[in-house]
Amino acid sequence: MGQGKFITLEGTEGVGKTTNLELIRDEVAGAGHSVVTTREPGGTPLAEEIRELLLAVREEPVSETTELLLMFAARAQHVATVIRPALEAGQWVVCDRFTDATYAYQGGGRGLDAEVIHTLENIVQCGLQPDLTIFLDVSVETAARRIAERNHDRFEREQVAFFERVRTAYLERAANHPRIRVVDASVELDQVQGNLRELLAQFLSESS
């Protein structure tokens, strides 16, 4: 059996990742592939514990480097025990966020050096990269309106300027990495999903 494909879904907060992740899973499964859906930070019991540490609102300021290392600690566990074994077994992996989020949030948002992120990426992933990344894009104002009602985690409490930097970093990465496809998520859900289905149909046919 061949290696499975690795699809990641990205976006700032409030872009409807959860609903669209289900659609991606259903499209891939519908094409006859065995699919594992997972998320970052998280995806294993240990990595989910690290996620709780990362998202908790706390009095102690979290250093940017601590945040970065915890993201990659969670990722190391996730890649080693879930993602890589699944791909090697021929399963497709659909993951809610991956390392593009680190370049966007810790790189763009927090201002950490992309070279440092790149070094950690090499250590943790040993060359593993998504085959397809979908970036669901909405303006920061629209996203803020959509999450206004939620209980905000440590990231969601950031200011508008932080999310503008995150979005800009995602769009810049998309411009430089053909595997990253930008989907406008500001339109009606039906239209977003139609565009996603089209994009996936093309990817599935190229992958068969």
Among 6, 92, 105, 203, binds ligand TMP (CB under 6 A): 105
> By CB under 6 A, is residue 155 in contact with ligand TMP?
yes
Number of residues engaging ligand TMP in binding (CB under 6 A): 12
Cα dihedral 162, 167, 172, 173, rounded to 10, equals: 100
Measured CA to CA, the distance from residue 16 to residue 143 in angstroms comes to 9
Among 21, 35, 36, 41, binds ligand TMP (CB under 6 A): 41
Toward ligand TMP, which CB reaches closer, 82 or 204?
82
Q: How far is the CB of 52 from ligand TMP (least distance, A)?
A: 11
Judged by CB under 6 A, the stretch of 33-41, 141-149, 182-190, 193-201 that binds ligand TMP is 33-41
Residue that has been written with the tokens 């709780």 in this structure: 52
CB atoms inside a 10 Å sphere around CB 147: 14
Q: How far is the CB of 18 from ligand TMP (least distance, A)?
A: 9
Among 35, 36, 40, 121, binds ligand TMP (CB under 6 A): 40
Question: Per CB under 6 A, which of residues 85..104 are in contact with ligand TMP?
Answer: 97, 101-102
Toward ligand TMP, which CB reaches closer, 16 or 26?
16
Among 71, 93, 140, 180, binds ligand TMP (CB under 6 A): 71
Q: How far is the CB of 101 from ligand TMP (least distance, A)?
A: 4
Contact positions toward ligand TMP, by CB under 6 A? 13, 17, 39-41, 71, 97, 101-102, 105-106, 155
